[in-house]
Amino acid sequence: MSLSDLKAFIIGWTGACGEALSKELAKRNTFKQVVLIGRRKVEFPSDDPRSNFEQEVVNFDELDQSKDAFKDCAVGFVTLGTTRAQAGAEGFKKVDYDYTMTVAKIAKEMGCQQLHYVSSQGANKDSMFLYQQTKGKVEHEMAQLGFEQLFIYRPALLLRGDKQRGLEKAAYIIMKPVTAFKPSWNQIKIEDVGRSIVAKSAEFGSGAKSEILTNGQMHQASQSLSE
């Protein structure tokens, strides 16, 4: 079965990576139907190809009441995420662990076969740092849910263009001499994150697998797509 016969959902699609992914899917008309799941509805300009996507508004604290939003979605993309600086420690854990794992469990229950999760470079459930520990814990627990295919992405520094955060801008400047020699080592454009995910989704139906993609492998996957 080809992707053009399938229905997919994106959750966290208003964030940088999710937005880039939604644009890539719309540009390529990848799926028969795409459901954008979020806290609010967004009005697209008429010339935005995402205006054809379905939107489902949910309450993340009561997500069990919105299971139908995931119905018949064979493929799922989870790009939820915040930071401790933005939401505080408890808010970060609520979004990046509680909400994310609830989404994964509901998706599995509703028949999702291929799940994609945007994690982070350095993810490790045994890390002493909250961010890496939380991402690693999610990776570990998602792998126990029994998806036919699970793709986990570990991007390094995200290049967001005019949406770059303060600390990210500083890190980019500091690491610029290194990346001049090896651009794929420690950074990646959000557009390339989206492209790498679309590239891996094409492996639907190719057999059971669980794969973790490093930043370098994401660059390679992105480059495998034709313009």
H helix count then E strand count, the chain: 7, 9
- Among 105, 125, 131, 172, the active-site one is 131
3-state secondary structure (DSSP) of residue 186 = coil
Is 131 annotated in the active site?
yes
Task: Please work out, in degrees rounded to the nearest 5, the angle formed at the alpha carbon of residue 191 by the alpha carbons of 88 and 106.
Answer: 55
- For every residue of 111-170, DSSP letters joined together read T--EEEEE--TT--TT-SSHHHHHHHHHHHHHTTS--SEEEEE---EEE-GGG--HHHHH
Is 125 annotated in the active site?
no
Distance CA 138, CA 154 (A): 12
Residue 83 amino acid letter: T
- Among 93, 108, 135, 137, the active-site one is 135
48, with CB counted inside 10 A (0-12, 13-18, 19+), is middle
Distance CA 133, CA 24 (A): 30
As annotated, the active-site residues are 131, 135
